[in-house]
Structure 1
Amino acid sequence: MNRARPAPELDPDANPASVARSIVLRQLTNSAKSRHQLAQKLAERNIPEDVAEAVLDRFESVKLIDDAEFAHMWVRSRSMHKSLARGALRRELAEKGIAPDLAEQALEQIDDDIEREQGKDLVRRKLRTSIDLSDRAERDKYTRRWVGMLARKGFNPSLAFGMVAEVIDESRQDD
């Protein structure tokens, strides 16, 4: 059974700042992290708050922690590879502790037309030739499914309905 282990206590003989630096460096080696995420890791390892703040401030001053750059990279990656829309990306950035103004700046890099095409491509990938879109009940059923999928990806529901309708119209014209 995979149970979560309690955070190890800080060795009384260890220098808390040294331990904190090691933790942060190890975390940053795996992947980029926001300051908030790193602060959570330090808290889990029982690093005193004042020591954690000092270490994180130092890492920020030498540009090893940069929430603005992290947000830009996160948005670019998740938009491209996961086809997430602004709504989902905004939520993810908030969960990672990114300030709303930094999140909005990062989200500006997403082009409306590209986002719309990504949503339509998601629906096209789900569209199978065995689906009879001329049958109203069948069309409605799949419209609800695809709009739900797009909503989970962060697309505005009214925009999602429009994208699904366009893909259905394209498909019916091809038949």
Structure 2
Amino acid sequence: MTSKSPDPIDRDSDLAEPRPRGGDSARSSAPTTKLAKLREAITEIDQRHAEGQSEYFGEATLVPESSVAPDLASSTDVPSFADALSFDDEGDGPEDFDASYAKAKKTAMNMLAMRDHASGELRDKLLKRDFLPEAVDELIAKLQKSRLLDDEEFAHRYVRAHRERRKLSRTALKRELSKKGLAAEIVSGAVEGVDGEDDLARQVAEKKAASTRGLDYEVRERRILGMLARRGFASSVCLKVTREVLVED
């Protein structure tokens, strides 16, 4: 029994594949031409982006259909150039909360091991390192709960240390504590018991007077007044102490 071969496809039917003119060379050159057009379109996109033409990347900016192979032009998976530009490279996505928290904790403990920090000061340093804000906030809260961060204790220790070592006035201490993000009531409470402004100013003036001996009176006076002013002493205290020290020296 002789097998019957299938009927040939009619050349005019919709199922017949069109035969490109020019044989195999024409068939292979068509995709190449379309790929070249697509590359040209991408190059133009990159150039406009570099020139700051952000409006070119609106949601309606699609890959030109004429530049896309026929089997891709109708696909719903073809993204717009605007979408493509917003894609992150694999592995470069946003860091998750747990990883950010763990890194922030390690960094914070190293900082606290070096010296005391106010809560706001430590928070600012961690945020500058691009840890997730929500991870940083949770870490700060836990450190406060465990008393590893105590703004009131920090403020009082800071006042004692800098009053003794740097001879800072009450005004200067308030300014320094405020820079560290401490609340106004904590700052006021820390410097409330600080006294002896005149005595401290005299210590500063006497040290500066000793290092300027041999200079003209006006030069010595100007330098002592400048030193006292930078330490935050009131102008009346600065003038009084400077004149007394220069007369006695």
TM-score, length basis structure 1: 0.80
Among the aligned pairs, what percent are the same residue? 29
Sort the Cα spacing of 1:130 and 1:92 in 2 relative to 1 into closer, same or farther, 3 A.
Answer: closer
Asked if residue 126 in structure 1 is aligned to residue 197 in structure 2, the reply is: no
CA distance in 1, matches of 2:182, 2:136: 18
**Correspondence for 2:130 among 43, 46, 55:** 46
Report matched runs for 1:80-91 at 5 Å: 80-91=164-175
Distance 2:247 2:213 in 1: 16
Give secondary structure in 2 for the equivalent of 1:94: helix
Pair 1:106 & 2:178 matched: no
- Structure having the larger proportion of residues in helix: 1
Partners in 2 of 1:28 and 1:11 — Cα distance? 27
Partner Cα distance (1:163, 1:50) in 2: 51
Whichever residue aligns with residue 109 of structure 1, its letter is G
Q: Within 5 Å, which residues of 2 pair with 1:8-157? A: 12=95, 15-111=99-195, 113=196, 115-128=197-210, 130-131=213-214, 138-157=216-235
Could you tell me how far 1:122 is from its partner in structure 2? 1.6
Corresponding residue pairs, total: 156
Question: Contact 2:201/2:237 (CA < 8 Å) preserved in 1?
Answer: no
* Per-residue deviation, 1:127: 2.2
Structure with higher Rg: it is 2
- Matched to 2:219, the amino acid is K
Looking at structure 2, the residues matched to 32 and 10 of structure 1 have their Cα atoms a distance apart, in angstroms, of 34
* Structure 2 gap segments, 5+ residues each: 1-91
TM-score, normalised with respect to structure 2 = 0.58
User: 1:135 matched to which residue of 2?
Assistant: none
Instruction: Compute the displacement of 1:130 (Å).
Output: 4.4
User: In the alignment, does 2:244 pair up with 1:169?
Assistant: no
Calculate the aligned-residue CA RMSD, in Å: 2.2
CA distance in 2, matches of 1:142, 1:98: 37
What is the CA deviation profile of residues 72-106 of structure 1, one whole-angstrom value per residue up to 9, with x for unaligned ones? 11111011001111111111111111111111111
- Cα deviation, 1:96-133, whole Å, max 9, x if unaligned, reads 1111111111112311x2x321211121122249448x
Q: Which runs of 5+ in 1 are unaligned?
A: 1-8, 133-137
Q: Which amino acid aligns with 1:28?
A: L
For 1:130 and 1:12, locate their aligned partners in 2 and report how far apart those are by CA, in whole Å.
61
Alpha-carbon deviation of 1:12? Answer: 3.7
Q: Which residue in the other structure is 1:3 paired with?
A: none
Letter of the 1:73 partner, please give it.
R
Cα distance in 2 between the residues matched to 1:62 and 1:10 = 33
